[in-house]
């Protein structure tokens, strides 16, 4: 992963996003809005909505993800799996860019049967995630994508779901890694990349 210590005024370093060039990467970074106290104190929510609303910046984000896949030694990707909900927003255009299919990983009860199901723990309780049976072929190499990596629990559940489908996890990729929460360390057995890092 390409690293940079240029964190700017919002405390976000451009990390692997630097692959598209510092000027473009810094513009993307500038479109992430910090919202203190949302949804409650002491959280500082990192809002990517302004980034998604900017066509050029959104395109640059998708290109940066694609470059991570296409670099020498990058992960082989047969299908992109997006975690509900912003993983859908990032994953679908990335799948088109890579010329592969897209599969949604959804909250329990959102997909018609038959589904494969995995339960996991969150800081405030438990949750479940599902995938439609047969949408990921056994032996496929799957890129899992989401917007933010926090503690890593949801990402680990997504990886488990892919493996229960008989496929392998090529990599897990995120727009923003909240590095203080230790998610990358929890994903240690997998290849994991983030375009941006906070702090």
Rounded to an integer, what is the distance from CA 60 to the centroid of its chain?
A: 15
Please list, residue by residue across 54-87, b when 16 or more beta carbons sit within 10 angstroms of its beta carbon and e when fewer do.
beebbebbbbbbbbbbeeeeebebbbbbbbbebb
Residues 6+ apart with CB under 8 A from 22: 4, 6, 14
pLDDT of residue 44: 87
Task: For residue 186, indicate whether it is catalytic.
Answer: no
User: What's residue 4's pLDDT?
Assistant: 44
What's residue 103's pLDDT?
98
Which residues of the chain carry a pLDDT beneath 70?
A: 1-9
* pLDDT tens-digit map of 56-74: 999 999 999 999 999 999 9
What are the structural domain ranges in the chain?
A: 15-198
CA 28 from chain centre, in angstroms, equals 16
Q: What is the pTM of this model?
A: 0.94
* CATH code for the part of the protein at 15-198: 3.40.50.2020
Q: What is the pLDDT of residue 58?
A: 98
User: Which pLDDT does position 9 carry in this prediction?
Assistant: 54
86 as an active site residue: the answer is yes
- Out of 27, 59, 84, 86, pick the active-site residue: 86
């Amino acid at each position: 992963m390409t690293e940079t210590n240029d964190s700017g005024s919002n405390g976000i370093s451009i990390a692997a996003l630097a692959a598209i060039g510092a000027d473009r990467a810094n513009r993307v970074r500038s479109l992430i809005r910090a919202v203190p106290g949302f949804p409650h104190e002491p959280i500082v929510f990192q809002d990517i909505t302004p980034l998604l609303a900017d066509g050029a910046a959104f395109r640059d984000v998708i290109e940066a993800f694609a470059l991570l896949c296409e670099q020498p030694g990058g992960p082989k990707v047969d299908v992109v799996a997006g975690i509900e909900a912003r993983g859908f927003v990032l994953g679908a255009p990335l799948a088109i860019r890579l010329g592969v299919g897209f599969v949604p990983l959804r909250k329990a009860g959102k997909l018609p049967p038959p589904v494969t199901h995995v339960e996991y723990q969150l800081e405030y309780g438990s949750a479940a995630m599902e995938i439609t049976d047969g949408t990921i072929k056994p032996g496929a190499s799957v890129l899992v994508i989401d917007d933010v990596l926090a503690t890593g629990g949801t990402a680990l559940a997504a990886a488990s779901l892919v493996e229960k489908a008989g496929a392998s996890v090529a990599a897990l990729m995120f727009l923003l890694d909240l590095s203080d929460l230790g998610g990358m360390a929890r994903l240690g057995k997998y290849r994991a990349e983030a375009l941006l890092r906070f702090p």
